[in-house]
Amino acid sequence: MKKLSDFFATGWVQGAIPPVLLVLLVAIVEIGSPGFLTGETLGLLLGNTAVLFILATGVTFVILIGGIDLSIQAVASLASVILAQLLPSIGALAFPVAIGAGLIFGILSGIVHVRLRVPSFVATLATGGVVAGMALWFAQGRAITIEEGGRLSTTWINGAVAGVPVVAILAAIVGIISFMVLRYTRFGRYSLAVGAGEPAALAAGVNVDRTKIIAFAISGTLAAIAGVILAARLSSGSPSLANQLLLPAIAAVIVGGTAITGGLGGVARTAVGALIISIVRIGMTFIGVNIFAENVVFGAVLIIAVAITIDRSKIPVIK
């Protein structure tokens, strides 16, 4: 047991496991049902993964600094409600408004966490509750269908460019920008530093508080973008639209190989993780696993992935 955990803790092994797993899964599915690797099904897979990936990318930023964001599903749902509610009256302007709401609540989560010094899982549990309540209130507790008039501004999201679904392209853009931000900006390096060792980052003069707030702001914004895309795809917004996405999103980040303790990981790993989760989901439907039982698998996968990737030397007392 000890040796096994040592093996998993080796850097390159941890980095290599997710891609190998992904290739393995694709191979299994391809053998099980030949034709999976054709353009059409791949396009479908990418389209289905897009929303999950965007959500997971947002959480990646927060997990990298050593926190967690449990409010993403609420923020995404709120964005979908705002979009569906405002599209008829202000047209395409509803997009920036909905995404702006995500940004604001992201910053709010960050401020609650940093300034009031509330642990992030409680802070975001609370802001998630605040946001969910507001979404319920705006929508008066029901789902809002985007009417014919409003759909004019959402049809482009459901289209495809040269066979690649637009949502997949959007996800790719989000992914590339996030990758750049993490790798080539000061904020990116600071987040890794904060996640790797907060006292050290503090001693080195990193503005830890600002870095954390920005991470939460990004998480909120990306959650709102995911919610908007989801609403456009389903042509409706609802206060519980994204409720089922919290666990898969966090699982995607962890399965991709980003450590829950922070400082290790990145957007590319999350992309692999999101694809793994997507393929597992498709595979389960294919084998005939009941759709309700999927959460059981994801919950178990999450626990196993956390147990493998966590850096125990960083937490003296495991609470």
Partner 1 sequence: MPGAARGRCMAGSGTFPLPAFQPGCGVYLLTINSETMKPVTNLERTSAMDAVFARFFRGEGARRLRTFAPLIVLVVLCVLITIANPNFIELRNLIRVANSAAVPLTLAMGMTFIILMGSIDLSVEGALSVAAMVLVLLATNDANGNDYGWLAVVAAIAASTAMGLLNGIIQTVLRIPSFMATLGIWFIGLGLSVFMLGGSAIRLMDNSIRSLALERFLGLPLAVWVATAAFLLAIVIQYHTRLGRHILAIGGGEDVAELSGVNIQRVRITAFGVAGFFFGIAGVLAAAQLGQSNAVIADGRLFAAVTAVVVGGTALTGGEGGVLNTLVGVLIVTVLANGMVLLGISPYVQQTVQGLMIIAAVALSLDRLRLKIVK
Taking the least distance from each CB to partner 1, the nearer of 124 and 178 is 124
**In 3D, which of 74, 85, 79, 82 has the Cα closest to residue 131?**
74
Q: Which of 58, 128, 165, 237 binds partner 1 (CB under 8 A)?
A: 128
**Which of these segments, 7-15, 143-151, 276-284, 307-315, binds partner 1 (CB under 8 A)?**
307-315
Taking the least distance from each CB to partner 1, the nearer of 167 and 302 is 302
Q: Which residues contact 306 (CB under 8 A, 6 or more apart)?
A: 254, 260
Determine if 232 is a binding residue for partner 1 (CB under 8 A). no
Determine if 136 is a binding residue for partner 1 (CB under 8 A). yes
**Which of these segments, 17-25, 33-41, 149-157, 286-294, binds partner 1 (CB under 8 A)?**
286-294
Q: Which of 50, 94, 132, 241 binds partner 1 (CB under 8 A)?
A: 132
Taking the least distance from each CB to partner 1, the nearer of 162 and 203 is 203
The structure tokens 């954390």 sit at 212
Residue 182 CB, nearest distance to partner 1 (Å)?
19
Residues that bind partner 1 (CB under 8 A): 66-68, 112-114, 116-123, 125-134, 136-137, 140-141, 196-200, 202-203, 247, 250, 260, 262, 290, 292-300, 302-303, 306-307, 310, 312-319
